[in-house]
A and B are shown apart, each in its own frame.
Chain A
Amino acid sequence: MHPLEDLSAYLDGELDGGRRAAVESHLAACDSCRTRLAQLRATARLIAALPSPVPARSLVPRVAVPIWLAPLRTLATIGSGAALFLFIASALTTSVTQTSSGGAAAPALAPQPEQAQSDRARGIASAGPSGAAGPAGPSGPSVPGVPTGVPAPAFGVAASVSPPQKSATESDRSAAGTPTPTAVVRADSGTTAPTAVALGAPERAPTTPSPLVWLALAIALAALALVLHRRLRSA
C-alpha cells in the first residue's frame, strides 16, 4: 500500500514520528513513491519560484494621519488667503479714510493761527475796558474773567483746535469763566488730529477691526497650514 496521501506532509515535515518512520521505510523500498515524492518536491519548488505580482499602488492605509487633517490644511490655506485679502482691503480702506478725513480737516485747521490771534485780540480788546488783568501766562495776554492763577494758554490752545465759529463761542464762554468739558479735553490733548480720532473712535471700533488683526490671523493660519502640510508629507 503506497502512502500517497502522506507524501506531501512528509515533504513538508508535518508528519509525526510514527507516520514519518513508516513513510521513510516505504520510500526505502518503493521506487515509484520516491519518484512521486521527487515530483511533488519539484512541483512545490515551481510554485515557490513563481514571480511575485506587485501592487500598482501603496495598499497601506494611512491610519497614522487623522482623516480630517487634509481638509483642515485646505481650510487653513484658504483662511490664510482670505485673511490676507481682508488685511490688504482694510489697510487700503483705512488709508483712504484717513487721507480723506485729513484733507477735509485741513481747511478747517488752516486758519488756526489767524483764529488764535483773533481770539487773543478779542481777549485783549475785551480786557482793555475792564482793566482786569491777572498774571499773564506764557503766551502773554491774560483772558478776561479768568480767575487769577488759571493759565490762559490752556484756553488759547483749546481755541486754536476748534472750528472758527465754535472756537469763538468757546472763547466767549472761557471769557465768562465757564469753560466747557470739551474745551478742557481739547486743551489736555494739545493736538488737533488725535482729538478728532479720539472723538470718532468709540463709534467705529466695534464694527471695523484693525488691519493688523487680519494680518495676524493670516500669519497664524498660514503657519497652521504649513504645519499640517509637513505632518501630511511626513506620514
Chain B
Amino acid sequence: MNAPLEDANAGLIKQARAGDARAFEALAREVERPLYRHVQRIVGESADAEDCVQDALFSAWRSIRAFEGDSFRAWIFRIATNRALDRLRSRKRHPELPLDPPADDAEITWAEPAAPGPDLVQIVGDREALAAVEAALATLPVDQRTVLLLRDIEGFAYEEIAVITAVEIGTVKSRIHRGRLAVRNALVAKGWRGTAG
C-alpha cells in the first residue's frame, strides 16, 4: 500500500535529503493529513494534534539528512507518533486528565450480544456505527489504539508498525488483535448482534 507512494516520491526524498527545502515541503504536504488524522486520534484534541504534526514535520526536516530507511512515510509517522505519545505523557502530569483506560495486557474476551440487533458485518458505513467505533477507539489503551490506527487506517504492515512503535512484531500482532476485539465488543455492547458462529 505504501510502496507506490515511496516509488513516486523517490526523487523528492532524494532531493530533500540533499537539502532541497521545496522537495521536503512537497513531501510534507502529502503526509500532512494522514499524520494529522493519526495524531488527532492519539492525543484527542485538534490543537494538540496540529502542534504535534507541525513539530514532527519540522523535526523531520532538521534530521532528514540522517534518514536512511526504505520508507519515508514510516519514518515520518514514527516521529509524529513519538510526538503524540510525548504529548500524552506530558498531559499525565496534569490533574485534569481522565482516568487511564484499561491496561494493555488486560484480558479481553469475545463478548456475546445481550439482545438481538443488526449484524455486525452488515453495518459497515453506518453513521451511528462509525460514531460508536470512534468512541470505542478513544477508550482503548494508547498502545493498542496506535497500532490499530497504523494498521487499519494507514495500512502499514506489521513490520513497519514494529519499527514505528519500536516494539516486537509479536507485540504488534497482539495489540492489533486486542484492539480490534475491544472495538468489536464495544459495538456489541451498543446492541449490534454478533453473528452466531
* Count of A-B contacts judged by CB separation below 8 Å: 138
Q: B33 contacts A63, CB within 8 Å? A: no
Q: How far is the CA of A54 from the CA of B37 in the complex (A)?
A: 7
Interface status of B124 (Cβ within 8 A of chain A): yes
Q: A34 contacts B197, CB within 8 Å? A: yes
Q: By the criterion of a CB under 8 Å from any partner CB, how many residues of chain B are at the interface?
A: 53
**Interface class of chain B by DSSP:** helix
Q: Known contacts A31-B197, A61-B57: does B33 contact A52 (CB below 8 Å)?
A: yes
Q: B158 contacts A9, CB within 8 Å? A: yes
Which residues A47-104 have CB closer than 8 A to chain B? 47-65
Contacts of A60 in B (CB 8 A): 25, 28-29, 32, 57
Q: How far is the CA of A123 from the CA of B149 in the complex (A)?
A: 113
Contacts of B29 in A (CB 8 A): 60
Task: Give the distance to chain A from B160, nearest Cβ to Cβ, in Å.
Answer: 11
Contacts of A12 in B (CB 8 A): 151, 158, 176
Contacts of A14 in B (CB 8 A): 157-158, 173
Complex interface bits, A169-204 against B, C-beta within 8 A gives 1, otherwise 0: 000000000000000000000000000000000000
Q: A47 contacts B152, CB within 8 Å? A: yes
Which among B3-11, B67-75, B86-94, B181-189 touches the partner chain?
A: B181-189
Q: B183 contacts A61, CB within 8 Å? A: no
Q: B61 contacts A40, CB within 8 Å? A: no
Interface status of A28 (Cβ within 8 A of chain B): no
Interface status of B121 (Cβ within 8 A of chain A): yes
Which residues B1-57 have CB closer than 8 A to chain A? 21-22, 24-25, 28-29, 32-33, 35-37, 40-41, 46, 49-50, 53-54, 57
Interface status of B65 (Cβ within 8 A of chain A): no
Partner of B36, one of A34, A47, A49, A55: A55
Partner of A36, one of B33, B110, B151, B176: B110
Q: A40 contacts B184, CB within 8 Å? A: yes
Task: Give the distance to chain A from B132, nearest Cβ to Cβ, in Å.
Answer: 9
Q: A39 contacts B134, CB within 8 Å? A: no
Contacts of B197 in A (CB 8 A): 30-36
Interface status of B196 (Cβ within 8 A of chain A): yes
Interface status of B153 (Cβ within 8 A of chain A): yes
Q: B36 contacts A59, CB within 8 Å? A: yes
Q: B153 contacts A42, CB within 8 Å? A: no
Contacts of B46 in A (CB 8 A): 53, 55-56
Q: A47 contacts B157, CB within 8 Å? A: no
Contacts A47-B152, A60-B25, A61-B54 supplied; 8 other A-B pairs, CB < 8 Å = A35-B196, A40-B181, A42-B121, A44-B180, A46-B123, A47-B137, A54-B36, A55-B33
